C-alpha cells in the first residue's frame, strides 16, 4: 500500500488532486504522528498506522465527511482548534474578517470585544491572543460552547463564554467597543455541498430567503451594547453586502467598509456607530 494509492481513493471519489494530497498528508500527520521532519530523516511509515489512514480515506470518500471532523481539528490563523459537527469548520475567508477586526482594534485601542455565534471559539481566541482586549463569546448552542471552552483552555486564552440567543442573556449594562460575527447567512432552502451538510444547520441557515436575518438583528440591537464610536464587523454571504449596507445606514452607522476575498467576492463589512 502506497501513499499515492490512498490519494487515489480520494480523487476517485471526485476530490481534486491537490486537495486529496493535502488531506492524506493531514491524515498521516494525525494518525501516524508523521511529519515533515520524519520525511527528511527518512523514517519509515508504520504499516498498521498507514492502514488506519487508508480506512479513514475510504470513509472520507464514501461519506464526504470533512477531513477536519475526521481528525477532530482545523487550522485557523496559526493555530489548530478542536472541531466537531457541533461547530462550523473555520475557513480561510473568516481569517480576512478577523484580520480586519484586528486592524480596527489596534488602530483605535479598543478594549472590549463580543464574538456572536462563537462556535469553536477560534475568532474569540485569536483576538484574545493577538490583542490586549477583554473578549466575550456567545452562542445559542451549549455543545458549541463546550468546544469553545476546550479550545480556550488549550490555547491559554482568557475568554468568557455565555450561552445566549444573540443578546438575550447579556445585561443591558454590558458595553463593547467591537462586535464581530460570522452569523448564519445561507438562505433557507439552499442546496449545499455534501461536506457542508455535516456542519450544524443552526450555524448555517437563516429562516428567510435573503440570508440577512441575523445581520439585521445584530445591527438593530447591537446599538444597545456598543459604546459610542463602537464597531460591528461581519463576515458576508454572497450577494448580501448591499442589503447589509442598507441596514447599517438606516440604523445610524457610518464609516461603512467592504472588503473582498481572494475570489473578488464581498466578504467583510464593518461599520461604526456614532
Give per-residue burial for 195-205: e unless 16+ CB within 10 Å, then b: beebbbeebbb
pLDDT interval class at 42 (50, 70, 90): low
DSSP helix/strand/coil, 45: coil
Average pLDDT of the segment spanning 226-234 = 97
| Long-range contacts (CB closer than 8 Å, 24 or more residues apart) made by 79-82 | 79/122, 79/125, 79/126, 79/129, 79/155, 81/120, 81/121, 81/122, 81/125, 81/151, 82/120, 82/147, 82/150, 82/151, 82/154
pLDDT tens-digit readout, 104-137 = 999 999 999 999 999 999 999 999 999 999 999 9
Contact 46, 21 (CB under 8 A): no
pTM of the model: 0.92
**Backbone CA torsion sign across 246, 91, 151, 15:** positive
pLDDT tens-digit readout, 165-215 = 999 999 989 999 999 999 999 998 898 899 999 999 999 999 888 899 999
Cell of 211: 440570508
Q: What percent of the chain clears pLDDT 90, i.e. is strictly above it?
A: 87
pLDDT at residue number 106: 97
Distance CA 176, CA 183 (A): 18
For the chain, the straight-line distance linking the first and the last C-alpha, in angstroms and rounded, comes to: 64
Contact 184, 202 (CB under 8 A): yes
- What mean pLDDT value characterizes the chain? 94
DSSP string, 95-160: HHHHHHHHHHHHHHT--EEEEET-TTSHHHHHHHHHSS-EEEEEES-HHHHHHHHHHHHHTT--EE
Give per-residue burial for 210-233: e unless 16+ CB within 10 Å, then b: bbbbbbbbbbeebeebbeeebbbb
pLDDT at residue number 172: 85
| Secondary structure element (H or E) that encloses residue 250, with its range | helix 241-250
Give the residues across from 268 on adjacent strands: 235, 259
pLDDT at residue number 93: 95
Amino acid at each position: 500500500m502506497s501513499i499515492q494509492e490512498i490519494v487515489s481513493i480520494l480523487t476517485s471519489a471526485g476530490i481534486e488532486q491537490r486537495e486529496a494530497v493535502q488531506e492524506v498528508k493531514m491524515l498521516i500527520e494525525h494518525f501516524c504522528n508523521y511529519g515533515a521532519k520524519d520525511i527528511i530523516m527518512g523514517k519509515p511509515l508504520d504499516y498498521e498506522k498507514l492502514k488506519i489512514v487508508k480506512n479513514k480515506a475510504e470513509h472520507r470518500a464514501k461519506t464526504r465527511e470533512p477531513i477536519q471532523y475526521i481528525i477532530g481539528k482545523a487550522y485557523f490563523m496559526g493555530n489548530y482548534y478542536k472541531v466537531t459537527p457541533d461547530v462550523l469548520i473555520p475557513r480561510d475567508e473568516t481569517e480576512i474578517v478577523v484580520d480586519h477586526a484586528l486592524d480596527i482594534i489596534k488602530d483605535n485601542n479598543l478594549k472590549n470585544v463580543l464574538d456572536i455565534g462563537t462556535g469553536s471559539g477560534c475568532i474569540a481566541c485569536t483576538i484574545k491572543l493577538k490583542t490586549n482586549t477583554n473578549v466575550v463569546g456567545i452562542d445559542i448552542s451549549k455543545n458549541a460552547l463546550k468546544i469553545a471552552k476546550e479550545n480556550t483552555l488549550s490555547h491559554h486564552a482568557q475568554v468568557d463564554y455565555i450561552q445566549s440567543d444573540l443578546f438575550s442573556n447579556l445585561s443591558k449594562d454590558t458595553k463593547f467597543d467591537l462586535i464581530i460575527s460570522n452569523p448564519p447567512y445561507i438562505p433557507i432552502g439552499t442546496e449545499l455541498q455534501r461536506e457542508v451538510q455535516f456542519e450544524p444547520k443552526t450555524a448555517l441557515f437563516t429562516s428567510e430567503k435573503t440570508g440577512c436575518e441575523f445581520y439585521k438583528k445584530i445591527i438593530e440591537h447591537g446599538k444597545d451594547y456598543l459604546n459610542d464610536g463602537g464597531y460591528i464587523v461581519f463576515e458576508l454571504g454572497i450577494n448580501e453586502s448591499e442589503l447589509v449596507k442598507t441596514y447599517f445606514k438606516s440604523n445610524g452607522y457610518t464609516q461603512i467598509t467592504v472588503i473582498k476575498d481572494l475570489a473578488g467576492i464581498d466578504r467583510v463589512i464593518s461599520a461604526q456607530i456614532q
